[in-house]
Chains A and B, each alone.
Chain A
Amino acid sequence: MSANFETANTARYAIGIDLGTTHSALSYVDLQASDGEKADQGVLPIPQLSGPGTVEALPLLPSFMYLPHPDELAQGELALPWTDGQAAPVVGEMARSRGAGTPIRLVSSAKSWLSHPGVDRRAAILPSDAPEEVDRVSPLAASTRYLEHIRNAWNAAHPEAPFDQQAVTVTIPASFDPVARELTAEAARDAGYHAPTLLEEPQAALYSWIQGSEGRWRKQVKAGDIVLVVDVGGGTSDFSLIAILEREGNLEPHRVAVGDHILLGGDNMDLALAHLVARKLQANGTQLDAWQMRALTYACRGAKEHLLADANATTWPIVVPSRGSKLIGGSIRTELTRDEVTAFITDGFFPRVEASARPAVRTRAGLTQLGLPYAQDAAVTRHLAAFLARQAGATAELEGFSGNVNPEHSFLHPTAVLFNGGVFKSDILARRVMDTINDWLYMEGSEPARMLEGADLDLAVARGAAYYGYARRGGGVRIRGGTARSYYVGVESSMPAIPGMEPPITALCVAPFGMEEGSELELPGQEFGLVVGEPVHFRFFGSTVRRQDRIGEVLEFWGPDELQELNEIQAELPFDARTPGDVVQVKLHALATEAGTLELIAVSREGQRWKVEFDVRATEQQ
């Protein structure tokens, strides 16, 4: 890609942006001051409104956007250092604190909405419970605003090194499907990013750990290790498996598997505790309003952090401040006990379960409300057990590992664990996960896994992303692995129709597992006749476990968990090329872009190329 080479030559900094569900951050590596594994790195304080007319530079930008009423705030109160006195979109700290009082105008969790296959991600749907008169924004637009804000903050701080000329990496959950990846890249481009690269967050966490170890990582992991990255953020849980290979005497990490998209994170835990305390208060005759409930959630987070950090503390007081000016008379005092935190957080979210445990799935009621598809089982350890079991054969094809795969193992045995996310600031929780995994390993006769020490839990993703930008330029270790899924289009098989039954479909592999960035593959043999001006839709599937399928392979049968249906794809040949109604024979190409997205391209016999688009609107679930 010419754009990448352009920035490669002029970039002074490698910038990493963690676009999080609840917080975003920017880290950077000074390319000129870095050499080998010694990278000169910093975190940019992001100026943002902390209240009307007040601007503060904070290390994190809360990923919230507030849509004020026209009479609510004076124009001059919303200026940022780079807007020349004009009102800017309200994002960051003030959006979060204002929104606590007026949730109907608060856009939150835009990232989760951006990856929600059941809604049109380009439609103005947020906040989802806003009244008619509020001008809503789309998940794509909200993400664009956050990225734009970060870009402007950089330009204000570094006028000598414009953002557009730097090497920019934006992180995404490893579980993001091609549509969510494409939309994130689109949001970055809309925000004026020149040629952004996407990086999976668990990989970023490992990069940060490698960089933080200053070369000592080679002593902490060895060839043959399988590192499990457990990343529990504010809103999502994300797992990845990274195998350590040895090639020509060098250690080379290979990402071999990624988990499903699980909407479950630290915020759910705070909320669970807040509801528990609210019920206690209610039993004593104290009813909390919505404002107090949010103050309580905030207080519960503090109490949880204290109780989970200090194993000797038995209770922690909680005070919900009064809303009025009578602070002493109006505040509500209660406490959170260790037993409650243990029951609700340690045992509720991280229960010690068997390796054979699986997340409970309730069948959804016929009419589900339009909302985020939160995980139905709160137990992170059960999701983890399911992930490791599904990936039991993940290393079977990997050089140097094939001999280690034991068919009697019911799940993939990791040898090391790296934690990421603020939740694991608590030793108790990290230990609980380690103990649970080690129990599983013990039951199958394996050595316990070790915990990789020294991770920076809050800023690792942004830091790792910046380091990746540096590593791409040849400065450090790179994680290999390519795409983490294989992809298929649904083809109706030629069978006589049976009343009341859908014609069975077969799955045609159009992009195999592990495509390296920048590689392009042609679907052999198959040609499709596309009618100019008439869009053709295909059902589209992805698999995180079918590593061996080659491009062009046709699957007649597959296991219930093997293939997941994604949003449809749509091929349409524009009028400008041909006469409407003409039939053009095309071949399908799969391209794993340098930017980290997957593209499907229809290529005519004459070599004309048209991009096959992902359908970002709601798929009708049959």
Chain B
Amino acid sequence: MSQPTDLPSFWSRLSLAFGAFFKTLGDAEFAARVRDDQIGPIAAPVAAPAPAPAPTPAPTPAPTAAPLRVATPDAALQLLSLLQREARLIDFANENITVYSDADIGAAARVVHEGCARVLREHFTIEPVRAELEGARLTLPEGFDAASVRLTGNVVGKAPFTGTLSHRGWRASKVSLPQLADKHDASIIAPAEVEL
């Protein structure tokens, strides 16, 4: 990575990313800002799914049957539950990482990374918004989709705009969250476990 040294380190970014993730989930105003201003944490891999389902709870396209309701407000909780089950994300984010060595954190991060990747792979189809390589020069014609391309820097004049692609962007082309039973309480992200 060719990052200038004054930028936050990986672990700080990870924790920033989780912070932003939960703030987006829990704080509607913050979520709205993320949506409008794009101050969202896009770079951290684990937090990537957050902007997609949380601010705009997309209706699940899965076929509905009588006893199963379409997951709408529950979708965010459902995603959290998946990320906890597969990636132990809530356990990880709620732990105070300052007391552990990078080796310990790294070991746990493997569980988190592998699980997050699995959740993303199994429940979303995520593809780059732009097919060009990062660093490539490209021209945006008049009437380009401002929602999928964000202009930064010297934004003046009229389209067509020519610039350098700094991030390819991500688009969730398909979301398939599990269907929920009618009485299922989605607020239980992970049940307590009691061994008998």
Question: A and B from one assembly?
Answer: yes
Binding site for B on A (CB under 8 A): 47, 50-57, 74, 76-79, 81-85, 101, 156, 291, 302, 317, 319, 321, 323, 325-329, 331, 333
- What chain A residues lie within 8 Å of B23 (beta carbons)? none
A-B contact pairs, 14 of them (CB 8 A): A50-B178, A53-B181, A54-B178, A78-B181, A79-B182, A83-B67, A156-B65, A319-B107, A319-B110, A321-B88, A327-B111, A328-B95, A329-B95, A329-B104
The contact of A317 among B68, B100, B110, B180, by CB within 8 Å, is B110
- B158 interface hit (Cβ, 8 Å): no
Are the CB atoms of A51 and B110 closer together than 8 Å?
no
Contact status of A76 and B66, CB under 8 A, knowing A321-B111, A325-B94, A331-B111: no
Contact status of A79 and B181, CB under 8 A, knowing A156-B65, A319-B107, A328-B105: yes
Are the CB atoms of B184 and A319 closer together than 8 Å?
no
- What chain B residues lie within 8 Å of A57 (beta carbons)? 62, 176
- What chain B residues lie within 8 Å of A81 (beta carbons)? 65, 67-68, 179
Are the CB atoms of B110 and A84 closer together than 8 Å?
no
Closest Cβ of chain A to B12, distance in Å, is: 16
CB-based nearest A residue for B88: A327
CB-based nearest A residue for B123: A56
Total interface residues on B, CB under 8 Å, equals 36
Contact status of A55 and B179, CB under 8 A, knowing A79-B67, A81-B65, A328-B95: yes
- What chain A residues lie within 8 Å of B180 (beta carbons)? 53-55
Binding site for A on B (CB under 8 A): 62, 65-68, 78, 81, 85, 88, 90-92, 94-95, 97, 100, 103-105, 107-108, 110-112, 114, 176, 178-185, 193, 195
**Within the assembled complex, what's the spacing in Å between the Cα atoms of A272 and B193?**
28
Residue from B103, B104, B176, B184 with most neighbouring chain A CB atoms (10 Å): B184
CB-based nearest A residue for B104: A328
The contact of B184 among A77, A83, A333, by CB within 8 Å, is A77
**Within the assembled complex, what's the spacing in Å between the Cα atoms of A418 and B105?**
44
Closest Cβ of chain B to A286, distance in Å, is: 13
Closest Cβ of chain A to B90, distance in Å, is: 8
Are the CB atoms of B108 and A331 closer together than 8 Å?
yes
Contact status of A54 and B181, CB under 8 A, knowing A156-B65, A319-B107, A319-B108: yes
- What chain A residues lie within 8 Å of B182 (beta carbons)? 76, 79, 85
Closest 3 CB pairs of A and B: A53-B184, A53-B181, A76-B183
Closest Cβ of chain A to B94, distance in Å, is: 7
CB-based nearest B residue for A45: B176
Are the CB atoms of B107 and A317 closer together than 8 Å?
yes
Are the CB atoms of A77 and B107 closer together than 8 Å?
no
The contact of A76 among B65, B103, B111, B184, by CB within 8 Å, is B184
The contact of B92 among A77, A78, A327, by CB within 8 Å, is A327
- What chain A residues lie within 8 Å of B178 (beta carbons)? 50-51, 54-56
**Within the assembled complex, what's the spacing in Å between the Cα atoms of A101 and B111?**
19
Closest Cβ of chain B to A80, distance in Å, is: 9
Residue from A50, A81, A323 with most neighbouring chain B CB atoms (10 Å): A81
Are the CB atoms of A328 and B92 closer together than 8 Å?
yes
- What chain B residues lie within 8 Å of A319 (beta carbons)? 107-108, 110-111
- What chain B residues lie within 8 Å of A79 (beta carbons)? 67-68, 181-182
- What chain B residues lie within 8 Å of A323 (beta carbons)? 193
The contact of A331 among B81, B97, B107, by CB within 8 Å, is B107
Closest Cβ of chain B to A130, distance in Å, is: 15
Closest Cβ of chain A to B117, distance in Å, is: 12
Are the CB atoms of A327 and B95 closer together than 8 Å?
yes
